[in-house]
């Protein structure tokens, strides 16, 4: 049976994209194929990672559209044109609204660098999440992969992994450990699980 066509949406460094590319190569993702990488930032290093892996890329910039609805409309058009069946948000720093979510209902997953429902929702992204965890003083944090719905970081949880906070951690050291120990593992694993469900017709 054909592999599920995956689009990965990125904005920055793309280490999670790299983890997905490596997981497809090593066979951890065996029911899906990363077919397109889309960035909302022309300078994203993630685009270079995709090109190096021979994956088609596209850049869609918010500033080229009058409204965010037009921006999302173009994203939807591009993904549909490429026959995309699963959208993976991997460090995509733009909140998607109803227009996009309706077009790919139950077909969008996201990785977030905390244990949801802690340190999530509007305003919590990237290093800010780790700053918040450290300033609150929690001893355990982690990462979550979840479905995307109209509530920021509010969709059904697919997988989580805890990461211990160490004395002397800075937002940067914590971010690195959460990526290494949690995100780069649970995002590829979750992607495979969802691809398999889509292929088997279990995710209606
Ligand atoms: C990752 O830590 C990801 O979880 C986070 O941004 C980073 C992107 O790094 N995403 C969010 O905060 C979304 N709310 P990457 O570009 O190297 O994958």
Per-residue pLDDT of the chain (204 residues; tens, 9 = 90+): 699 999 999 999 999 999 999 999 999 999 999 999 999 999 999 999 999 999 999 999 999 999 999 999 999 999 999 999 999 999 999 999 999 999 999 999 999 999 999 999 999 999 999 999 999 999 999 999 999 999 999 999 999 999 999 999 999 999 999 999 999 999 999 999 999 999 999 987
For residue 116 and ligand 1, the question of a CB distance below 6 A is answered with: no
Whether the upstream peptide bond of residue 117 has omega within 30° of 0, thus cis, is: yes
Structure tokens that stand for 101 in this block: 């979510």
Residue 100: is it exposed, middle or buried by C-beta count within 10 angstroms (0-12/13-18/19+)?
buried
Say how many Å lie between the CA of residue 27 and the centre of ligand 1: 23
For residue 179 and ligand 1, the question of a CB distance below 6 A is answered with: yes
pLDDT, position 63: 97
pLDDT, position 204: 78
Mutating to test ligand 1, I would choose from 16, 19, 184 the residue with most ligand atoms within 8 A of its C-beta, which is: 16
Atom of ligand 1 nearest to the CA of 17: 18
Do the beta carbons of residue 74 and residue 60 sit within 8 Å? yes
Alpha carbons 15 and 203: distance in angstroms, whole number: 28
For residue 141 and ligand 1, the question of a CB distance below 6 A is answered with: no
For residue 49 and ligand 1, the question of a CB distance below 6 A is answered with: no
Neighbours of 32 (CB within 10 A): 24
**Assigned CATH topology for domain 4-199:** Rossmann fold (3.40.50)
User: pTM of the entire structure?
Assistant: 0.98
């Amino acid at each position: 049976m054909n592999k599920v066509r995956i689009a990965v949406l990125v904005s920055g460094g793309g280490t999670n994209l790299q983890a997905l590319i490596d997981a497809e190569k090593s066979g951890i993702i065996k029911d899906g194929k990363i077919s397109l990488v889309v960035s909302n930032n022309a300078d994203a290093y993630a685009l270079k990672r995709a090109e190096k892996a021979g994956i088609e890329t596209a850049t869609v910039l918010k500033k080229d559209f009058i409204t965010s609805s037009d921006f999302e409309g173009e994203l939807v058009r591009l993904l549909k044109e490429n026959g995309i069946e699963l959208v993976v948000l991997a460090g995509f720093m733009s909140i998607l609204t109803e227009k996009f979510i309706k077009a790919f209902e139950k077909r969008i997953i996201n990785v977030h660098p905390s244990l949801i429902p802690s340190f999530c929702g509007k305003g919590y992204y990237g290093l800010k999440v780790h700053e918040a965890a450290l300033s609150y003083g929690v001893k355990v944090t982690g990462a979550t992969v979840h479905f995307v719905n109209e509530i920021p970081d509010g969709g059904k949880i697919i997988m989580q992994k805890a990461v211990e906070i160490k004395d002397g951690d800075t937002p940067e050291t914590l971010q690195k450990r959460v990526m290494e120990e949690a995100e780069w593992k649970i995002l590829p694993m979750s992607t495979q699980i969802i691809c398999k469900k889509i292929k088997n017709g279990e995710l209606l």
